[in-house]
Amino acid sequence: MVELILLSIKVAAVATLINIPIAVYIGWLIGRRNIRGKLILETVISLPLALPPVVTGYFLLILVGRESAIGQISQFLFGNDIVFTWVASAIAASVVSFPLMVRAIIVAMQGVDTTLERSARSLGAGPIRTFLQITLPLCYNGLVAGILLGFVRAIGEFGATIVVAGNIPGRTQTIPLAIYSKVQLGKDSEAINLIIISTVLAIITLIIHHWLIVRGTRKSQR
């Protein structure tokens, strides 16, 4: 049980870490910049929310499978396939949770007072320094809330994971996959225990997420 929980947290944590730099950049790009093709970019980002997770998993299977360029590079460098490993689980969780994270970050970026950014630039701060010292601190609560939302979605990922990583106990079996297996085997009491653990983790994360959003809203109203 402990090994299962630790694996689930590891997969979700790695998925979240993969997403953070990309989500922050795209969130800034969409939320702060007037770029061409914004609608297309937002549509592509939101696809994992609209597609059935199994379809997303199938695309990932093609992308990182043994016959793909990524799969061949993995074989050459590490002598192993990516599919049916915990790394594949992390990739699947990353892709599926990314839209939720980036959409929350976009909203946080859009709430930043542009006057403060312009003031920093007028005082000689470059774009990178302004971003790191003004933009990020001002949207910190929304940023962290988005990251937590991505994490809780990653820890609950099922459909894409079972396609690209399988359901291998001790290797790729996360809490949602274990619940599925227990239900299939008629082990209802064990399934209920896992459901309770999953629910508690989700509630704790969502409470923190909500608290950060409320805190950020109160700060912006001062």
Rounded to 5 degrees, what are φ and ψ at 170?
Answer: 85, -10
Please state the rounded mean pLDDT for residues 115-123. 83
Structural domain includes residue 93: no
In a domain? residue 86: no
- Distance, CA of 212 to CA of 214 (rounded, Å): 5
Q: Is the pLDDT of residue 221 over 70?
A: no
Cβ neighbour number for residue 106 with a 10 Å cutoff: 22
CA–CA separation, 222 and 218 (whole Å): 7
How high is the mean pLDDT of the chain?
Answer: 88
Residue 129: domain span: 2-51+98-158+168-221
Residue 163 lies in a domain: no
CB 176 within 8 A of CB 159: no
Give yes or no for a contact between 158 and 15, defined as CB atoms under 8 angstroms apart.
no
Asked, for residue 200, whether it belongs to a domain, the answer is yes
Q: Answer yes or no: is 144 within a domain.
A: yes
Total structural domains within the chain:
1
Residue 174: the pLDDT is 92
pLDDT at 11 over 90: yes
212 pLDDT more than 70? yes
CATH for 11: 1.10.3720.10
Q: Is residue 172, in this structure, part of any structural domain at all?
A: yes
pLDDT digits (tens, 9 = 90+) for 75-117: 877 778 889 999 999 999 999 999 999 998 998 888 888 888 8
Is-contact 157 174, C-beta < 8 A? yes
Q: How far apart are CA 168 and CA 85, in angstroms?
A: 9
Q: Is residue 75 part of a domain?
A: no
Instruction: Count CB atoms within 10 A of the CB of residue 49.
Output: 14
Task: Supply the pLDDT for residue 114.
Answer: 80
Q: What is the DSSP letter of 85?
A: S
pTM for the complete prediction?
0.87
SS3 202: helix
Confidence of residue 222 (pLDDT cuts 50, 70, 90): low
Instruction: State in Å, rounded, how far the first CA of the chain is from the last one.
Output: 46
198 assigned to some structural domain: yes
Residues 144-153: pLDDT tens digits? 888 988 999 9
pLDDT-based confidence at residue 218 (cuts at 50, 70, 90): low
Q: What is the pLDDT of residue 35?
A: 83
